[in-house]
Every structure is written in structure tokens, then in C-alpha cells.
Amino acid sequence: GDSVTQMEGPVTLSEEAFLTINCTYTATGYPSLFWYVQYPGEGLQLLLKATKADDKGSNKGFEATYRKETTSFHLEKGSVQVSDSAVYFCALSGGNKLVFGAGTILRVKS
């Protein structure tokens, strides 16, 4: 079945450092891909998405490119802030359901 694998955390960075969180997937067909963010004690918010190969999703300085050849959707940000500390989930849309990765905790130190 469909699955998503994310890099394990926690990832700890200093403010203004470059961020990469790796995400790879296994799926039949051509899924849409998503990154969600979860702040402590809250629900998930959509961060960005891409619906077809080579699409780049972007929002709030975060970017991810849908790479079909490597089945990847890595999340990047050029300069992280303390306020970016959260849990990040990669997900794919399999028909009418979402399949989530285990989540990656990001901690940004000032």
C-alpha cells in the first residue's frame, strides 16, 4: 500500500540556519503531496502542496518540489526562525484519504 517515510527527528537548528526535512513516498498512481505543520497542542495546518510531478509548493519561506523520479518531496527553508519550531508531517493523497509520515520535530534555538 501507499506509504510515506520522513527523516527522524528531532532536528535542532540555530536561528537563520538552512532547513531540509527529507520525505520519500511509495504510491500507486500519481498522488498529490502535502506538508502539514503542527504547533504544540494544536491541530494540523496545511503548509504547502504539489499536485503533479515537478510542481513546487511554497508558503511562508518553505518550499518543496514534487520529484517523481526519486519519489521525494523534501521540505526546505533558507533561514529558520524560533517560531518555526513545530512538528512537520509529509503526506500523500491516495484517493479520498491522506497517508501521513511519522512527523519530524523541529527545534530552533535563538
Partner 1 sequence: DGGITQSPKYLFRKEGQNVTLSCEQNLNHDAMYWYRQDPGQGLRLIYYSQIVNDFQKGDIAEGYSVSREKKESFPLTVTSAQKNPTAFYLCASRPEGAGGGWEQFFGPGTRLTVL
Taking the least distance from each CB to partner 1, the nearer of 70 and 95 is 95
Close Cβ partners of 101 (under 8 Å, ≥ 6 residues apart): 4, 5, 6, 23, 89, 90, 91
Spell out, one character per residue from 81 to 110, where the chain touches partner 1: x when CB under 8 A holds, - when not: --------x---xxxxxx-xxxx-------
Smallest distance, Å, CB 109 to partner 1?
22
Query: Residue 57, interface with partner 1 (CB under 8 A)?
Result: no
Nearer Cβ to partner 1, position 18 or 30? 30
Q: Answer left, alpha or beta for residue 81, where phi above 0 means left and psi between -120 and 50 means alpha.
A: beta
Look at the chain and count its residues.
110
Identify the residue whose cell numbers are 503526506: 91
Tell me whether residue 33 or residue 108 sits nearer to partner 1 (CB atom).
33
The grid cell for 90 is: 509529509
Site for partner 1 in 25-54 (CB under 8 A): 31-32, 34, 36, 41-46, 49, 51
Residue 23 C-alpha cell reads as 520525505
Residue 69, C-beta contacts closer than 8 angstroms, at least 6 positions apart: none
**Where on the chain is the footprint of partner 1 (CB under 8 A)?**
31-32, 34, 36, 41-46, 49, 51, 89, 93-98, 100-103
